[in-house]
Structure 1
Amino acid sequence: MYPTHVEILNQEIDPEDKTPSYYRILVNRKHFKYINIDPGIYEVDDLCFPPILVENLPPFPEGDWNCGRISQTVGNPTPFFSETLKKTLPSINPLWHPKSYEYLSFQIGERLRSNVYVASSPQFEKPIVTKFARFYWEIGYYIAETRVYSWIDGHNIGPEFLGYLTEDGRVIGFLIEYIEGHRATISDLPACKVIVRKLHGLSILHRDLNTHNFLISERGAVLIDFETAKRSGNGETMEKEVEGLEEQLLDESGTGGVVLEEEDN
């Protein structure tokens, strides 16, 4: 065992503690570890509160590993690492943008929404936005979204795509410009229609239009969140997407819109 500085970066916790809890951890400010904790070992409140949990984690084993499991036995209630192994974790592919930046070169700041943060680095004059997979099973979301950014690149539809975010050489997310603006309201309906029709002009359906996926800035409406977007030549479905905008901008529920399914011609 060796002395460690442990920082919990992200967590995915079962509030009922019936399934494992998952953690993305930085050790000694340079080693990323993905750890799952068997249910029933710690109190749920402790699982949710990193400072307390860190104090109660077992010593970290030596060796070249990036995935581990913490368990407990009936005969020995002291938590221990029952498994450590080196896994080849998935990476976003294919890549289209020439630039990439290492996660550890950024100061991760305010959380804007799930998996989306404001970040800063000497490599950029201004704060930027980073969106990344905390855990390996989220990689697929961003494979699709980075592809859409390649389709809209240079068309002033979404934020500027600045490059990829990497962790130990693998691509886990991407960087986009930070847009100063507010979420759309019904008074912004004309501007939102303009930008959606511009997207449709590239034969792309957004499929998740709602008040939170528009930013109203000095340059007009800007679309974000392209996880569910897809290529389409279906004019009828595109028109339904535009027609549904008014209802979405009037929705004050605080939830996202319904993903629009494309109908067969």
Structure 2
Amino acid sequence: MSHADLVTSTLDMEVLSMDVDTLHPDVEESLYRLRVGSQVKYITIEPGTFPSDVLPFPMDLLPLLPHLPPGNWVEARVARGSNGNPTVQPTNTILPEVREQWHPNRVDALSLPFVKFMTPRVRVVQCASRPVVSKIARFDFEIPRMERETAVYRAIDGCNVGPAFLGHIVEGDRVIGFLVEQLHGRPAGPEDLQGCRDVLQRLHALDIIHGDPNKHNFVVASDGTVTLIDFENAMLCRSVEKKNEELATLPAQLSETTGRGGMVPRELVY
């Protein structure tokens, strides 16, 4: 499965995100999030519409797309018509949004200049004259995870656990992500056990377990301060037993040498 997020332009159109199954392109739909002028539109390409070898490459795909109809539609399907040519059919779907909206700051997704790629959903962007980290739900099936993580940030706000939450990212009227401060540091190691334990216990005191306390999710600053990141797997939990189980994994997590949790280079900014 390719989750590459390339930015490739053809005239006034660019691919912002895509989800293409490169192993089964003839049976799986391909999803694209496009900027068309000043609007964001979502295109689903049905299997067999275009040669499978062009689907992962926006530079090759964009010239093949049929003319997109004007209007304020946000989602459409592209398929072969009865004459064998690709056609575009806008749908009336109302796209879901993150309902956990608690911060007063809302920033348009297209207003954030790109600085650095981190993962398909996470980038360093420029906001208010400084680099910050953006995280979005690119497609509707990613909204539940974004909803959960946004709720966790609300719970930990001001508790010295994670990076500062800077606002919601909107696309039109929909909230699709958030901005957090950019951190600089290194992954935690065995020598940071106490600092990692302290910050994880602060999270547990809020009745939340992290769910993935690998060494790369603890950022150690130059002064030794430890900050937790990546709350996608976090969940409410009042069980003392489960909290203690998570704490008990820390020595092994911090001694991990296989690279688990750090396969995607983050350069430790988050």
Provide TM-score, normalisation by structure 1: 0.88
Q: 1:141 to 1:130 in 2, by over 3 A?
A: same
Any residues of structure 2 matched to 1:87-102 within 5 Å, and which? 87-102=93-108
What's the secondary structure of 1:127's corresponding residue? strand
Q: 1:45 to 1:214 in 2, by over 3 A?
A: farther
**For 1:238, which of 223, 235, 243 is the aligned residue?**
243
Q: Is the 8 A contact 1:163 1:174 kept in 2?
A: yes
Aligned to 2:217: 213
Q: Is the 8 A contact 1:65 1:87 kept in 2?
A: no
Q: What is the CA deviation profile of residues 149-197 of structure 1, one whole-angstrom value per residue up to 9, with x for unaligned ones?
A: 1111111110000010000011000000000112222332222112111
CA distance in 1 between counterparts of 2:122 and 2:213 reads 18
Structure 1, unaligned runs of 5 or more: 258-265
Q: 1:186 to 1:66 in 2, by over 3 A?
A: same
What's the secondary structure of 1:199's corresponding residue? helix
Q: How much has 1:107 moved relative to structure 2?
A: 0.8
Q: Is the 8 A contact 1:203 1:231 kept in 2?
A: yes
**For 2:49, which of 31, 41, 49 is the aligned residue?**
41
**In the alignment, structure 1 residue 32 sits paired with structure 2 residue 40:** yes
Q: Is the 8 A contact 2:133 2:181 kept in 1?
A: yes
Moved over 3 A (4+): none
**For 1:227, which of 201, 223, 232 is the aligned residue?**
232
Aligned to 2:31: 22
What's the secondary structure of 1:45's corresponding residue? coil
Q: 1:53 to 1:171 in 2, by over 3 A?
A: same
CA distance in 2 between counterparts of 1:24 and 1:39 reads 17
Which AA in structure 1 matches 2:32? Y
What's the secondary structure of 1:165's corresponding residue? strand
CA distance in 2 between counterparts of 1:188 and 1:72 reads 57
**For 1:62, which of 70, 89, 110 is the aligned residue?**
70
Any residues of structure 2 matched to 1:149-228 within 5 Å, and which? 149-218=153-222, 220-228=225-233
Q: How much has 1:118 moved relative to structure 2?
A: 0.4
Which AA in structure 2 matches 1:120? Q
Aligned to 1:126: 130
**For 1:79, which of 71, 76, 86 is the aligned residue?**
86
Q: What is the CA deviation profile of residues 133-152 of structure 1, one whole-angstrom value per residue up to 9, with x for unaligned ones?
A: 00112111111111111111
Which AA in structure 2 matches 1:190? Q
Q: Is the 8 A contact 1:4 1:60 kept in 2?
A: no
What's the secondary structure of 2:54's corresponding residue? helix
Q: Is the 8 A contact 2:33 2:43 kept in 1?
A: yes
Provide TM-score, normalisation by structure 2: 0.87
Aligned to 2:150: 146
Fraction of identical pairs, as percent: 37
CA distance in 1 between counterparts of 2:46 and 2:208 reads 43
Aligned to 1:110: 116
Q: 1:254 to 1:114 in 2, by over 3 A?
A: farther
Which AA in structure 2 matches 1:37? I
CA distance in 1 between counterparts of 2:126 and 2:210 reads 29
Q: How much has 1:66 moved relative to structure 2?
A: 1.0
What's the secondary structure of 1:113's corresponding residue? coil
CA distance in 1 between counterparts of 2:30 and 2:190 reads 41
Q: Is the 8 A contact 1:131 1:173 kept in 2?
A: yes
CA distance in 2 between counterparts of 1:163 and 1:63 reads 29
